[in-house]
Structure 1
């Protein structure tokens, strides 16, 4: 298994000045590399406390690239619908070069009605617009004299400079939330998968991952190269009571931010987002206790979290996990201790891979590996 840090802001101007948030986030990114984490990830969102301090992941990750040497950089995720393919392809190519090939490009359709309204885009066009824009970006990265006329963009012939550092281009990861079809399409294209398990029952997450793997293998891609990334809010402390108390406080901050961001679905409807009308009720009905009991949030002492990760591994196999750090308004020492505890006392237990035979491994298969 691989583990990284998800720097997902859940603050606004009334909580923290932007400059203070970025100073904090950059500090944690550098610390994550020092501790041996695999990646640092950040999102693209606008307007709300839910991610709004991260409207341009490429800019932030470029700053991370300048301060680090090894850790991978993941856009988790950019929203191609909100940009022109030439601009987005070029920015990502620059980031891949300045990081010497450490970039993985997570892409998403977007799902917040208020964001689509602000960009004057229709939710009903989101899937074809997404597919067309991602295809255009890949063609720009790899082709010459590229001409695009896809119903959303028309340009060319053009030859993009610079090319990405990685050949033929950075790994692409596709975000899916509720619809399994998105996972199947990602698998058929040979892309990786980004998921947030907290918004679905475990069985649905298993179904989404299984469909992704089946579609990918059916398209002729090596099962061993499949990439499944799961993001979890997290908080670790030396004391169990402190971990649960502060973990609940931090989780509730994230929960309130998410509830405000998805409120647009109380009236919005789209055939491209089947089932999303239920997301407001799902978010409203969730509690910290139920999330923790279902291993949808990772909170506790290192020993408790080792048990949680073992159960997650049993359910989903050897996935890549991104740990969303506590809100940046939490004391810096508390955040850094949480990140340190996971790296030093949890991560070493899961350094050995588990072989998959097409089904999730059992508890016995998820053996603890000694050392780091």
Structure 2
């Protein structure tokens, strides 16, 4: 197993100034590299305290690239539906060169109705815009004189500059929340997966991974290959009571910000998002103690979290774990403690 940090801001101006948040997040990036973590990842979201301080992960990761030399940089994820593919392919290729080939690109469909409304993009176009955008970016990275005739974008002939540092292109990962068919499509195309186990039961995550690996095998690819990223809220302390008390506080804070962001689903429906009409109810009924008991959060002493990770490896196989150290809604020192304790007590067990 490999481990990195996922910087997912869950704060707004009333909680923390944006410049202070970015300073703290970049300090964590530098610490993660010193402690030999595998990657740093960040999101693309807008407007809400749930992720809104990160409208452009490429900008943040460019700053991270300038401060580091080894750690991998992961978009988790960029949204093709909100950016023209020529622009998106160029930004990502430029970042890959600035990082000397340390970029892995996660693509996502997005799922917040208010974001789609702000960009004037219908929710019911989510899947075809995603598929078209990823294909256009991949072609721009790998081909010259590209002529593209899609449903939403038409351009060419275009030869992208700069070319990606990595050849033929950076690794591609696809975010999937609750849809096994998305995992299958990623497997068929040879892409990696971005999953969030906290929003699904263990059996559902196992089904998605199994269908992903089966699709890889059907496509003639190594079923055990493909990078599977699993993101978990993480809070460590040497004192079990302190870890539980503060880990619970910050997890519930994050859940509250998520509830604000998904509230539009109470009156929104889309065939592209089957089952999302239940998301407000599910987020409202989230229970930290149940999540902890089901090993869907990594909260506790280093020894307790190590036991949880061993079970996770048994359930899901070898994977890449992203630790959401919830850096925006707690003091930087507490996030640094979590990262340091993890590096000292847990990383050596999986070396």
TM-score, structure 2 normalization: 0.99
Q: Secondary structure at the match of 1:167?
A: coil
SS across alignment from 1:94: helix
The Cα of 1:328 is off from its aligned counterpart by 2.2
Aligned to 2:344: 344
* 1:9–1:328 CA contact under 8 A, matched in 2: yes
Secondary structure of 1:69 counterpart: coil
Q: Quick one: distance in 1 between partners of 2:331 and 2:181?
A: 41
What does the per-residue CA deviation read over 1:201-259, in whole Å, with 9 as the maximum and x for residues that have no partner?
11000000100010011101123431110000100001000000000011011110111
Residue 174 (structure 1) aligns with:
174
Aligned equivalent of 1:107: 107
Q: Give the superposition deviation at 1:26.
A: 0.3
Query: Matches of 1:218 and 1:35 in 2, distance apart?
Result: 39
Match of 1:367 in 2: none
Alignment of 1:293 with 2:293, yes or no, is yes
1:128 corresponds to? 128
C-alpha distance in structure 2 between counterparts of 1:303 and 1:68, whole Å: 30
Residue 234 of structure 2 aligns to a residue in which SS? strand
Cα distance in structure 2, aligned partners of 1:41 and 1:335 = 15
Shift in Å, 1:169 = 0.1
Tell me by how many angstroms 1:326 deviates: 2.7
Maintained 8 Å contact 2:292/2:298: yes
Partner of residue 311, structure 2: 311
Determine the structure 1 residue equivalent to 2:87.
Answer: 87
Secondary structure of the residue that 1:223 maps to in structure 2?
A: coil
* Match in the other structure for 1:235: 235
Structure 1: gaps of 5 or more residues: 352-372
Secondary structure of 1:225's counterpart equals: coil
CA contact (8 A) 2:5 2:324 kept: yes
For the 8 Å contact 2:9–2:326, the answer to whether it is kept is no
Question: How far apart, in 2, do the equivalents of 1:246 and 1:82 lie?
Answer: 36
Contact preservation (8 Å) 1:11, 1:327 = no
Task: Select the structure with the greater relative contact order (CA < 8 A; seq sep ≥ 6).
Answer: 2
Structure 2 CA distance for aligned equivalents of residues 148 and 165 of structure 1: 23
CA distance in structure 1 between the aligned counterparts of 2:132 and 2:238, rounded to whole angstroms: 48
- Matched ranges for 1:1-372 at <5 A: 1-351=1-351
Residue 250 of structure 1 contacts residue 327 of structure 1 at CA under 8 Å; is this kept in 2?
no
* Contact 2:81/2:126, CA 8 A, preserved across alignment: yes
Q: Deviations over 1:78-110 (max 9, x none)?
A: 001000000000000000001000000000011
Q: Distance in 2 between matches of 1:302 and 1:41?
A: 22
Distance 1:51 1:224 in 2: 32
Output the CA distance in 2 between the equivalents of 1:249 and 1:347.
25
1:171 and 1:224 map into 2 onto residues whose CA distance is: 16
Mapped contact 2:213–2:224 kept (Cα < 8 A): no
In structure 2, distance between residues paired with 1:279 and 1:349: 36
**For 1:291 and 1:270, how far apart are their aligned partners in 2?**
28
Once the two structures are TM-superposed, the CA of residue 332 in structure 1 deviates from its matched residue by 1.9
Q: What is the Cα-based RMSD across aligned positions, in Å?
A: 0.8
Measure the CA separation in 1 of the matches of 2:253 and 2:61: 24
Give the distance between the partners of 1:342 and 1:191, measured in 2 at CA.
29
Contact 2:142 2:168 in 1 (8 A): yes
Structure 1 length normalisation: TM-score?
0.93
